[in-house]
Amino acid sequence: MVATTSPADLYRHSLRLLLDKDIPAWVDLWAEHGVMEFPFAPPGRPERLEGRDAIAAYVRDYPDHIDLHDFPDLRIHQTTAPETIVVEMRGVGRIVETGEPFDMTYIAVVAVQGGRFTSYRDYWNPQSVQASGLDFAGSGVR
């Protein structure tokens, strides 16, 4: 993505990469010192990932655990800060290990600078993850 890409367009592109299971390209959308946070992370799971390398390590095996099919109900809200968006969405697919359905609602506060993610606060429900039988934090990644 080029530096002139809007935060909303960059976010939509990132979802397409997740659906395509192109994790290296998704990681490339991050600024070198980007920060990903999980304010509702259960005990023992990461609450904060600092830097592109830490984020890459966290999402590396994502497709081995969650087979995402779609992000329905996507709503992207502009804020008074042009580089920041608030996203509401669902991620649907299946849990690879069991074949059971995966359906998670997310709210994210995302900041972009120079065409790259610099901050991503992912507000997901850890009770839903635990109920699904997944043993990993946030979006289903170990």
pLDDT of residue 140: 42
Whether 71 and 46 have beta carbons less than 8 Å apart is answered as: no
pLDDT in tens, 93-111: 999 999 999 999 999 999 9
Query: Any idea which architecture 7-132 has in CATH?
Result: Roll (3.10)
Whether 106 and 91 have beta carbons less than 8 Å apart is answered as: yes
DSSP 41-84: PPTTS-SEEESHHHHHHHHTTHHHHEEEEE-TT-EEEE-SSTTE
User: Considering the entire predicted model, what is its pTM?
Assistant: 0.87
Using DSSP's 3-state secondary structure scheme, residue 17 falls into: helix
pLDDT of residue 42: 85
pLDDT of residue 142: 35
